A and B are shown apart, each in its own frame.
Chain A
Amino acid sequence: MLVHWSQATTLRVVKVTLFLAALVPLFVLTQRIVMGDLGPDPAQAITESLGKAAFQLLLATLLMTPLRKLTGWAGWIRCRRMLGLFAFFYAVLHVLAFLQLILGWGDLWATFTRRPYIIMGAAGFLLLVPLALTSTQKMMKRMGRSWKPLHRLIYLSSICVWLHFLWQARSDVLEMVIYGVVLLVLLLVRAYWFGVSSLVPLKKA
């Protein structure tokens, strides 16, 4: 039997794979909850794992543009929204877990005004809200040229999220450094390409 393997099929396969991969953190967490494998302080374990999943998905979202540049395949960009929305999904769960399990809905004012790492996390989260709200096809069309600059807020958000993570370090910053290096590379390649693309027209002129 001859299977017609089209571009659309490739996209579908990649999308489904990424969709399932993005669900892995939720699946693992659910399994740990069911198995009672979260240790004696589940509040901390749940909040931490959701936060890390959100950050990982944010980085995955930022990886799509470089992947397209490197592979030349435009399909990566078609997966970007899904990954961004997954990042937002985990971020919402992370914030809810923090409010319910760590804060217990008490001390809200003091927490969000006096704790730098919380303020930074809240900023990272709030910056994602307009991006999630304007992520639909319809909103893209409606916003036209202003859509792209707005969605560049993801750069600022991811820097806030990294600082939020770093400022929770106690004695060892290895993990924070790893995330930081990945983020730095993802931002630097953009700066580099931006520099190159702004030079190209000059050469042509």
Chain B
Amino acid sequence: MHFKKRPSWAISESEVTPESVYLNRRKFMSGVAVSAAAMAAPGLVWGSQHDNLSALTYRKADTYAPNEDLTPYKDVIRYNNFYEFGPGKEDPSRHADQLVVDPWSINVEGECARPGRYALEDLLQPHSYQERIYRLRCVEAWSMVIPWVGIPLADVLAQLEPTSKAKYVYFETLERPEQMPGQRSVFSTIDWPYREGLRMDEAMNELSFLAVGLYGRELPNQNGAPIRLVVPWKYGFKSIKSIVRIRFMEEQPKTSWEMIAPDEYGFYANVNPEVDHPRWSQKRERRLPSGIFSPNWRETKKFNGYGEQVAHLYKGMDLAKYY
């Protein structure tokens, strides 16, 4: 079943700013804007997967990774942690084509004025897409630079009208074992569905982003289609994929990695070279693609280099305690 809910604030297509073009998922539209940055990326190999994904119309790059090379498309779509499709880095790209992402709906719950089950296209319709080039730092000490396409999270959350009781926002990934082989593994330590959360002020920060695409086209399934979070100052696992639930909460939600290993992964998970993971150092990262005999090392920056935008959120907090 597929429910469509058109909230009272929704405006009809004809009233929307003419420039903002609304695209149906999986439906190719002509008059495509392709990111110049993407075209210019060195060593880019698109591959057939790229051709099969619909192009998106969007306002071009706000780069938050100036003077840094983009990670090639083929690496962005082949090297993923998405345990719903298996524990290996290449498992997601191998198995994610089993996932059906259209139709897609999102349950909105909790402390907000507009709860309900939304068809994805209804949630996205009032907004126009923009590009954001962000660094992505994985907790495993590797990193990429990715041109996302999507909407500021704040814009989507605002339309759901959170109440004053909403102190946190919680997200869930789809749980559909028949299309997600990793969820069928009896040896998995993750209690499905995958859960993440942000403090409300983090969620409303200008950097928090809901991506529906990358490199100018819809998200490949292994990257979290059809809609995922991107919070670039936090370790990658915070950027939850394939979202089906958004819940506004008064209490801090329990998140998946915190539930698995609370001494290794905290709720905040801000990128921080000063706080080591118990199993490895976080001082440096391997920027991918990395060399064979000498890794492409970078010094890891606090908040992944986004301190200017987010450091104020944590004023007075002991980040070694709230890791």
Contacts and interface: CB of A to CB of B under 8 A. Distances in A.
B87 A170 contact: yes
Contacts of B71: 40
A123 B89 CA distance: 28
B158 interface: no
Interface string B189-218: 110000000000000000000000000000
A117 interface: yes
Contacts of B280: 111, 115
Interface string A117-153: 1000000000000000000000000000000000000
A101 B286 CA distance: 10
B187 interface: yes
Interface in A25-47: 33, 38-44, 46
A168 interface: yes
B44 interface: no
Interface residues of B, number: 36
Contacts of B276: 110
Contact of B90 (A39, A46, A111): A39
B68 to A, nearest CB: 15
Contacts of B189: 169, 171-173
A49 B75 CA distance: 20
B190 A171 contact: yes
B87 A39 contact: no
Contact of B89 (A33, A39, A115): A39
B297 A172 contact: no
B79 A40 contact: yes
A167 B279 CA distance: 9
Nearest to B291: A42
Given A38-B292, A167-B279, A177 B87 contact: no
Q: Specify which of A102, A171, A173 lies most central, judged by the most chain B CB atoms within 10 Å of its CB.
A: A171
Contact of A107 (B283, B288, B291): B283
A10 interface: no
A167 B280 CA distance: 12
A93 to B, nearest CB: 13
Given A170-B87, A171-B188, A172-B86, A43 B278 contact: no
Interface residues of A, number: 30
B182 interface: yes
A154 to B, nearest CB: 26
Contacts of B292: 33, 38, 42, 46
B187 A177 contact: yes
B267 interface: no
Interface string B267-300: 0000000001011110110101111111101000
Interface string B119-153: 00000000000000000000000101000000000
A7 interface: no
A175 B185 CA distance: 11
Contact of B87 (A43, A110, A116, A171): A171
A39 B78 contact: yes
Contacts of A33: 292
Contacts of A202: none
Contacts of A171: 83, 87, 188-190, 260
B299 to A, nearest CB: 11
23 contacts: A38-B292, A39-B75, A39-B78, A40-B71, A40-B75, A41-B79, A41-B288, A42-B290, A42-B291, A43-B286, A43-B295, A100-B293, A102-B295, A104-B297, A106-B283, A106-B284, A110-B281, A115-B279, A117-B279, A172-B182, A172-B185, A172-B188, A173-B187
Given A172-B187, A174-B187, A177-B187, 10 more contacts: A40-B75, A40-B288, A100-B294, A101-B295, A106-B283, A167-B279, A169-B189, A171-B189, A171-B190, A174-B87
**A-B residue pairs, 5 tightest by C-beta:** A172-B87, A40-B75, A174-B187, A40-B289, A40-B288
